[in-house]
Chains A and B, each alone.
Chain A
Amino acid sequence: MSPVIDIRNLSARSAVGPILRDVSLSVNAGEVMALVGESGAGKSTIAKAVLGILPAGIEVTGGNIFFEGTDLLALSPARLRDMLGVRIALIPQDPLTSLNPARRIGDQLTDGLRLRAGMNRKRAFDRAMSLLNDVHIREPERVLKRYPHELSGGMRQRVLIAQAFSLNPHVIIADEPTTALDVTVQKQVLRLIRDMQREHKTTLLFVTHDLGVVAQICDRMTVLYGGKVLEQGFTAQILKNPQSPYTRALLAASPRYDQPEQSLEPVPEALIAELQREISA
């Protein structure tokens, strides 16, 4: 099976220095791949590179990002724009800043349907209603008339999930989609993303720092540090038997309510020094 997303030897740098170092990863159709790491690991940079939305000051210095065989980095901005939202969509981290506070949910949710799928207003609103139904929002008709601040965090995130799936994209990039949510809501939203992903057979690139979330939703995982891939493989195997000392250190630093005797160990400084040597080599 040929991968839907195939990143080969991707490198990027900012004014401060390299931020992605020779990253390679591929995601098969219908698969959920986690990008895991601490801040500065490069997980969000990879997501942004795939979406073509790297901030000014960060430039790709090498490598390719193949999406269904096409190198996204070689596309003109216009062709890339045609793909975004339609073939590749995003579920962002913070639903409050990702929704326009001054526009009603219905208007925002129908933008893509009208502009990209060419629906008229009436059809787009009907479709938006059924999308809200799909993400288990009750009384979708009323919610369409609301402004973002009138919804709870969980509801807003459901709206963004509906929006991401609205044009049946092949790939969705979820950037820490549950980090801002309460645990009980997080579990519901994770279940929703998983159900929608399975139903639509969407390929999902899931950016997170939470190994617990990875364990429950991702088939495979890529562990990053300082812009470099340290470990890649099936989630079950890596969590049970991590090969990289860094992955082991991350697990040892994560508190578990079911293992209260476990003392929490920060990633040892010697290991960080070794990793720094390794990535700059």
Chain B
Amino acid sequence: MLIEARNISLDVPDMSHQVLIGHRRKLRILKNVSIALKKGETVGLVGESGSGKTSLGRSLLRLHEPSEGQILFDGQDITHASAAELKPLRRRMQMIFQDPQSSLNPRHTIGSILATALKLNGMDASDKSIAAVLDRVGLPSSAIRRYPHQLSGGQRQRVGIARAVALKPDFVVADEIVSGLDVSTQAQVLDLLKGLRSEMGLALAFISHDLSVVRSLCERVVIMKGGEIIEEGGTAEVFAAPRTAFTRTLIDSIPLPEVRPGWLDS
């Protein structure tokens, strides 16, 4: 296994609970969750808002430190690893964010955004190598001198992908990366991801609320609710025969682009 979470739980301070003295009450947002990804495998993390899918993704990258359980990356226990201990691993585990508008510095050119990521990891940050990365994600080399606001939403998301894959990572967490895009742009970005993952042997945790997208991209799917994994399995199997009523409801709630009288009332 490349990345593995064993029975992890995550507590955060409960901000809705007022305290005057002493400790704030804890809120458990991940409950005894286990998940493992092999090299080259794509797993969809699916659930509604508040289900814990993003918290799980971030925990896998050790952006959160779990309150209980264990996280292993390539055989190494990183559950409580310090920032210094994690540093050499950071290049190998990357994240692509939902909103490229807010995750790309508006005052930096695309070239400098990518160069910074490469330099920090001791990699070749020449214009030539940046142009090669841009080309791989389908952006012209002229984008080097552009600022994020000068690109379209789809192009900005490609920059977010470029920043992650430029470092040749083994594991990528993609958090709702197509949810703000038009369907046509979404199709292009999904196609790009499929290409990159087979080329680079990426393990990909694809966080999404959109089951149709997950169905088309992921081999395995994990359904989350209330901080727990309530169902998991091969995507085809889960869609064909969901074992929980919740998964069934999620699937049945997706409106299909064909007129189905009575669907709304079902």
A272 to chain B, nearest CB (A): 9
A131 to chain B, nearest CB (A): 21
B212 and A257: CB pair below 8 A? yes
Task: Give A239 to B187 CA distance when docked, in angstroms.
Answer: 19
> Could you name 15 residue pairs across A and B whose Cβ atoms are closer than 8 Å?
A38-B183, A38-B185, A183-B250, A183-B254, A186-B253, A190-B255, A209-B182, A213-B255, A215-B260, A216-B260, A236-B259, A239-B257, A239-B259, A257-B215, A260-B215
Task: Give A234 to B113 CA distance when docked, in angstroms.
Answer: 48
Q: Does A250 contact B (CB under 8 A)?
A: yes
Q: Does A212 contact B (CB under 8 A)?
A: yes
Q: Does A11 contact B (CB under 8 A)?
A: no
Q: Does A266 contact B (CB under 8 A)?
A: yes
Task: Give A211 to B256 CA distance when docked, in angstroms.
Answer: 8
Q: Does A153 contact B (CB under 8 A)?
A: yes
Q: Does A196 contact B (CB under 8 A)?
A: no
Indicate which residue in A183, A210, A266 contacts B253 across the interface (CB closer than 8 Å). A183
Q: Which of B170-217 contact A (CB under 8 A)?
A: 182-188, 190-191, 209-213, 215-216
B264 and A257: CB pair below 8 A? no
Specify which chain B residues have a CB less than 8 angstroms from the CB of A264 in the assembled complex: 186-187, 190-191, 216
Indicate which residue in A153, A183, A210 contacts B209 across the interface (CB closer than 8 Å). A183
Q: Does B127 contact A (CB under 8 A)?
A: no
A212 and B256: CB pair below 8 A? yes
Specify which chain B residues have a CB less than 8 angstroms from the CB of A215 in the assembled complex: 255-260
Specify which chain A residues have a CB less than 8 angstroms from the CB of B82 in the assembled complex: none
B239 and A260: CB pair below 8 A? yes
A36 to chain B, nearest CB (A): 10
A256 and B259: CB pair below 8 A? no
A146 to chain B, nearest CB (A): 13
Interface residues in chain A, defined as those with a beta carbon under 8 Å from any beta carbon in chain B: 38-39, 153, 182-187, 190-191, 194, 209-217, 235-236, 239-240, 249-251, 253-258, 260, 262, 264-267
- The residue of chain B having its C-beta at the shortest distance from the C-beta of A268 within the complex is B184
Q: Does B123 contact A (CB under 8 A)?
A: no
Indicate which residue in B49, B153, B239, B249 contacts A257 across the interface (CB closer than 8 Å). B239
Q: Does B48 contact A (CB under 8 A)?
A: yes
Task: Give A237 to B250 CA distance when docked, in angstroms.
Answer: 27
Specify which chain B residues have a CB less than 8 angstroms from the CB of A240 in the assembled complex: 258-259
B239 and A266: CB pair below 8 A? no
Interface residues in chain B, defined as those with a beta carbon under 8 Å from any beta carbon in chain A: 48-49, 153, 182-188, 190-191, 209-213, 215-216, 235-236, 239, 249-251, 253-260, 263-265
A191 and B264: CB pair below 8 A? yes
Task: Give A5 to B211 CA distance when docked, in angstroms.
Answer: 36
Task: Give A38 to B210 CA distance when docked, in angstroms.
Answer: 18
Specify which chain A residues have a CB less than 8 angstroms from the CB of B153 in the assembled complex: 39
- The residue of chain B having its C-beta at the shortest distance from the C-beta of A38 within the complex is B182
B187 and A265: CB pair below 8 A? yes
A255 and B215: CB pair below 8 A? yes
Q: Which of B153, B184, B253, B254 has the most CB of A within 10 A?
A: B184
Kindly list 20 other residue pairs between chains A and B, CB separation below 8 angstroms, not including A216-B264, A251-B257.
Answer: A38-B182, A183-B209, A184-B249, A186-B253, A212-B257, A215-B255, A215-B257, A215-B259, A216-B259, A216-B263, A239-B258, A254-B212, A255-B187, A255-B216, A257-B212, A257-B215, A257-B254, A260-B215, A260-B239, A264-B216
Summed over the interface, the residue pairs from A and B with CB atoms below 8 Å come to a total of: 107
Task: Give A241 to B177 CA distance when docked, in angstroms.
Answer: 31
A17 to chain B, nearest CB (A): 16
- The residue of chain B having its C-beta at the shortest distance from the C-beta of A191 within the complex is B264
Specify which chain A residues have a CB less than 8 angstroms from the CB of B253 in the assembled complex: 183-184, 186-187
Specify which chain B residues have a CB less than 8 angstroms from the CB of A251 in the assembled complex: 257
A39 and B209: CB pair below 8 A? no
A254 and B257: CB pair below 8 A? yes
Q: Which of B49, B258, B265 has the most CB of A within 10 A?
A: B258
Task: Give A272 to B104 CA distance when docked, in angstroms.
Answer: 28
Specify which chain B residues have a CB less than 8 angstroms from the CB of A253 in the assembled complex: 183-184, 186-187
Task: Give A212 to B263 CA distance when docked, in angstroms.
Answer: 11
Task: Give A182 to B210 CA distance when docked, in angstroms.
Answer: 9
A89 to chain B, nearest CB (A): 22
Task: Give A125 to B254 CA distance when docked, in angstroms.
Answer: 36
- The residue of chain A having its C-beta at the shortest distance from the C-beta of B249 within the complex is A184
A122 to chain B, nearest CB (A): 32
- The residue of chain A having its C-beta at the shortest distance from the C-beta of B209 within the complex is A182
A266 and B258: CB pair below 8 A? no
Listed from nearest, the 4 A-B pairs whose CB atoms lie closest are A212-B255, A211-B257, A38-B182, A264-B187
Indicate which residue in B48, B49, B216 contacts A260 across the interface (CB closer than 8 Å). B216
Q: Which of A153, A258, A266 has the most CB of B within 10 A?
A: A266
Q: Which of B182, B209, B211 has the most CB of A within 10 A?
A: B182
Indicate which residue in B184, B250, B251, B264 contacts A194 across the interface (CB closer than 8 Å). B264
A265 to chain B, nearest CB (A): 6
